[in-house]
Chains A and B, each alone.
Chain A
Amino acid sequence: MKTLRATVAIIGAGASGGAVAWRLASAGIDVLCLEQGDRLDQARSPALGHDWERALQTRFHPDPNIRRGAADYPVTAVDTPIQPALFNGVGGGLLRWGAHFPRLRPSDFRVRSLDGVADDWPISYDDLEPWYDLNDAMTGVAGLKGDPGNPPRRAERDPPLPLGLGGLRLAAGFDALGWHWWPSDAAILTRPRPGRAPCNNCGPCGVGCVRGARASADNTYWPAALAAGARLATGMRVLRLTTSDGGRCIAAIETVDRSGTRVRIESDIVVLAASGLGTPRLLLASADRHHPDGLANASGLVGRRLMHHPTAIVTGVFDARLDGHKGPFACALYSQEFYETDRSRGCVRGVQLQMLRGSGPVATALGGYMRRLDWGRGHHRDFVRQFARGATLTVTAEDLPDAENRVTLDATRADSDGLAAPRLGYRLSENSRRLLDFGIARAREALTAAGAREIAVNPLSRMAGFHFLGTARMGDDPSSSVVDGEGRCHAIANLSIVDGSVFVTAGAVNPTPTIQAFALRAADSIRARLKEHA
């Protein structure tokens, strides 16, 4: 067995792992990051070929159980209505994402105090704001300041992306109803940066960005981290963490490289950045005599309180062509008119409405945002009626934590290296269902006001398992949380968690900016501790 040493070892090279690697390496700290996937050459994206939509159904399919890439692990998803969507590689899930880049609101950190549900975070929006700003600067964000629905943004922005024909109609619809809308903050450049060209409005961000306009950790944090001296080991699958000092410290990370060689990693500090699915999986799989229920699991909360962003999809078909295939599919505009709690709706917390542009031919036929087109005679008539004439609003609900929604280990299924597959157990709560139904009704109103002639509703997208949150929550009390407000494990002094696992509540927006801001803040905490002990 080979042994490697580092001051800080990071598990996972995605959104949060890349941010931590850069922050620590920039301070002169010896960093080694372990990534089970490989680098993806985005300059050779399928967007350059006619079969780019086939790539979305095969090697870029969001579900690892269908994609079955060499770096993927199986995810047992029979006890959940929402299927997993994730990607393994340098850049992680950001290699596959739509780059919508909203922050949580200040109220998202205080849901117990404000609304009497779930729990408050041990940190506030103000605590996180400097790192949100730093993350914006590193990422490159297109957008516009002045949104009355959110606190003022200090970080500079590139000009916003164009709304497109569908966005113009929806904006007019929202205005007619007197409802909020604002152009999306997008992690997509509209001005050039060194090594990255501005967006050329091509559309399918999910197959990788040829131009580097769409931010992903491999084109934002990793070039800077590697230049600062960080080491990145790809094709390295972590099998388990071992402990020492009576279980109070991580002694080593046991891994296997792509040749099958076992490699032991020893470090002063271990940072878990493997996602809200991969992190609890590793903690549970690393159970030992000091931690019989999984590492850092004295609270019993590792893997529990799993939150998704349950999503309904409401699509309007218009008489006019909208050419929705033009422009980044997930970034145009959003409405947070209904984001905050209004108990007259019969539920707590709220929803965001976010526009998705149209679909390509394959996605139109498969009903990506609508019903699948029926087969047989009449199929092509329906295709012509719908293609390039749709605009969609997603309804994203804030899922509240429930201890019974959880990630466990599958006793009978494992990845190619023998590590138990994670198993999802998730039930949509009554509150989330009511939020979605409320949001669907509002989306119908907006699309009607925008002039849609036909509206189709998917009340719960099966493919919306793109966010895994809350499975190793932060808090001040070790009996009811796994890590503290800086991501440090209560039970294991040299273990930090920086991914979506630590979320206390989920908000109703994409969590990536918050995950990365938290990771940068946690990195600064680690840096301060190392300096103190030096």
Chain B
Amino acid sequence: MTSDATLDAVLSTLLPGDGPWPDAGTLGLAATLRADLGDHAAALHATLPPGFAASDEAARVAALRTLEVGQPALFERLIAVAYTAYYVDARVRATIERETGYENRPPQPLGYVLEPFDERLLDRQRQRAPFWRHA
């Protein structure tokens, strides 16, 4: 089984800290990553070189680039679960709110304002004669 340290190192390499953005490997996401990888976790474990977690960033990047090229299906699954785990994390959501203005709350129950449709937008389209074909 891939250790938490190895998965954290994978996460730190994929999504390193950058200014206000937290390092994915420091958020305690390893268990989520393992669970969501499912059968792919063992394949990832078998693919990463020994000592991956202890190696420097350049070596980890090189190892993951090799995986990306050599086993694209496995790598895309890894990316899907890593990005998902990271961007649904409350701490990351709070960062998104600060950096972009995106409200850090679920879509429901509040939703967003349903503004009325302004039919004047269609003034030009309404001048057009029907152009569907009779058949």
Contact = CB atoms under 8 A, between A and B. Distances in A.
A45 B106 CA distance: 11
B109 to A, nearest CB: 7
Interface stretch (A13-21, A103-111, A423-431, A512-520): A103-111
Interface in A38-95: 45, 47-54, 57-58
B87 to A, nearest CB: 4
Given A183-B117, A202-B108, A380 B18 contact: yes
Contacts of A377: 16, 18
Interface in B72-114: 76, 79-88, 90, 92-93, 96, 99-102, 105-114
B100 A384 contact: yes
Given A106-B132, A181-B125, A161 B112 contact: no
Contacts of A387: 96, 100, 102
Nearest to A174: B125
Interface in A135-163: 144, 146, 148-151, 159-163
Contact of A107 (B80, B113, B129, B133): B133
Contacts of A380: 15, 18-19, 21
A175 interface: yes
B132 A201 contact: no
Nearest to B127: A148
Chain A interface secondary structure, helix, strand, loop or mixed?
loop
Interface stretch (A286-294, A320-328, A401-409): A320-328
A53 B80 CA distance: 11
A329 B131 CA distance: 28
Nearest to B78: A375
B102 A150 contact: no
B63 to A, nearest CB: 12
B93 A376 contact: no
A162 B114 contact: yes
B18 A114 contact: no
A53 B108 contact: no
Contacts of B21: 380
B14 interface: yes
Interface stretch (A304-312, A361-369, A414-422, A490-498): A361-369
Contacts of B125: 148, 175, 180-182
Q: Which of A47, A340, A380 has the most chain B CB within a 10 Å cutoff? A: A380
A198 B107 CA distance: 15
A299 interface: no
Interface in B16-35: 16, 18-19, 21
B116 A379 contact: no
Given A144-B122, A162-B114, A47 B96 contact: no
Contacts of A198: 114
A336 B79 CA distance: 36
A376 B132 contact: no
A181 B100 CA distance: 30
Contact of A388 (B79, B100, B109, B121): B100
A199 B115 CA distance: 11
A20 B24 CA distance: 50
Contact of A210 (B19, B108, B128): B108
Contacts, number: 164
A162 B116 contact: yes
Given A203-B107, A379-B18, A114 B131 contact: no
Given A50-B88, A105-B133, A366 B80 contact: yes
A113 B135 contact: yes
Nearest to A146: B126
Contacts of B90: 50
Contacts of B13: 375-376
Interface in B48-90: 61, 64, 76, 79-88, 90
Given A110-B135, A144-B117, A379-B15, A361 B106 contact: no
Contacts of A340: 133
Given A53-B88, A204-B107, A148 B112 contact: no
A181 B125 CA distance: 7
Given A106-B135, A171-B121, A181-B125, A50 B16 contact: no
Contacts of A50: 88, 90, 93, 105-106
14 contacts: A50-B106, A53-B84, A105-B132, A114-B133, A148-B126, A148-B129, A180-B128, A181-B125, A201-B111, A202-B112, A321-B100, A327-B112, A366-B83, A375-B64
Given A200-B110, A211-B108, A361-B87, 20 more contacts: A47-B106, A107-B135, A109-B135, A114-B133, A146-B126, A149-B131, A182-B122, A200-B108, A200-B112, A200-B114, A325-B107, A327-B112, A362-B87, A375-B13, A375-B64, A376-B16, A376-B61, A379-B16, A381-B18, A384-B100
